[in-house]
Chains A and B, each alone.
Chain A
Amino acid sequence: MMHKHRLAHRRLWPWLAVALAGLFVAALVLRAPPATSALLPAPQERAP
């Protein structure tokens, strides 16, 4: 049973990697224009 579980994991990993790559590319493609994004928004820009 454990080994079947291990094999299932082996099949799962590549799909997880593909999903992660997709999310990364989406985050890259959908980047907002530079003026409206910031790594650490200034406190006054956020609601208290």
Chain B
Amino acid sequence: MSAGFVAVGWNRRKLVYDAVVLACMAAFIGGYIVVAATLKPPDGALGWIDLRLKAFGACAFVMLTLILCIGPLARLDRRFLPLLYNRRHLGVLMFSTAAAHAAFMVEWYVAQGALANLASELTTWGDYARFIGFPFKVLGIAALAILAVMAATSHDYWNAFLSAPVWKALHMSVYAAYGLVLMHVALGYMQSERHPLVPILFGGSFVLVAALHLASARREALRDMAVVQPGGDWLTVCPPGAIPDKGARIVMAEGGERIAVFRDGNMIGALSNACSHQNGPIGEGCIIDGLVTCPWHGWQYRLQDGRAPPPFTEKLATYRVRLRDGVIEVDPKALAPGTAAAITV
């Protein structure tokens, strides 16, 4: 939780995470260059630049695909949560790899003293009206610009400065960047490289990302449908014993707001399901040391009133709960963040 600006809060888990990512990146790029150079030796210095360009581009694409898969994977299976913990570092490293890919592209032109040709490619306006032949490098540049903004704001300082909803909305533009990158590949590399594996791998990665998102959305929708029973103004949840101790049931109010109803022994409380850090799904977390703990990055709140323990100041909206005929009900009208509303049953 943020009480002020700290450059980077390093800990052992983050160091191990980053070391593993860097090792995997080095193995991928090194392996790509060795295999490609063995199969088809590069033709002079220009060929080596082209090979580096492709190796870094492929690595950045794989990293971006992995980043987009982590969110739904973590929702489908909690064992993937450790990947999500430090996803922002992965994003910054992916941007660095993509930036290196762009730098090699510029180097390719500079090596021939033909940088003006790059400008010419990007400003041949007639090509923008074509589909095949569209200046695909523009798509890559646009994606890189989006990723640059995201990398520059990948810090809790910006999260706090912009507020969680704005920061989250800004970082959802990663999907726009992914679309641009996919078309950058489809209208660029895929047009010249005829091996059938190329469309299979790139198209397959898109199918994987889409399928995981659909699966996680479907699971969430099914869970909401299974729990919500509209009953008058209040939402019927379930008997207290049906809420796992130190865990939660999530209900969805009319309009889509998700409410996490937690049980800690005989205390029942309802909080907004969106963590104030990055809108993480609070209701998929658990109660640790008496505090509701977000599964994404461990931000904590008191069940009684949705307030983070001192010295932290974050607050979640709470909801009134009541026990009626042996069943827990929730008033879907949110109370002001930090309002005490939990009950003992």
Contact = CB atoms under 8 A, between A and B. Distances in A.
A25 B132 CA distance: 12
Contact of A23 (B183, B192, B202, B257): B183
Given A10-B217, A27-B191, A38-B192, A43 B256 contact: no
A24 B203 contact: yes
Contact of A4 (B116, B175, B255): B255
Contact of B182 (A3, A10, A20, A47): A20
Interface string B179-199: 100110011111111100001
Interface string B81-125: 000000000000000000000000100110010101100110010
B186 A27 contact: yes
B108 A27 contact: no
Contacts, number: 80
B183 A27 contact: yes
Contact of B117 (A20, A21, A39, A43): A43
A26 B255 contact: no
A2 B274 CA distance: 13
B18 interface: no
Given A7-B256, A40-B50, A46-B120, A32 B183 contact: no
Interface of chain A, helix or strand or loop or mixed?
A: helix
Interface of chain B, helix or strand or loop or mixed?
A: helix
A14 B209 CA distance: 12
Sorting the interface of chain A by its residue count into under 10, 10 to 19, 20 to 34 or 35 or more gives: 20 to 34
B204 to A, nearest CB: 11
A48 B120 contact: yes
Residue in B182, B190, B192 with the greatest tally of chain A CB atoms within 10 Å: B192
A10 B108 CA distance: 42
A21 B213 CA distance: 15
Nearest to A4: B255
The 4 closest A-B pairs by CB, nearest first: A43-B114, A27-B186, A43-B117, A3-B256
Interface of B: 50, 105, 108-109, 112, 114, 116-117, 120-121, 124, 131-132, 165, 175, 179, 182-183, 186-194, 199, 202-203, 206, 210, 213-214, 217, 255-257
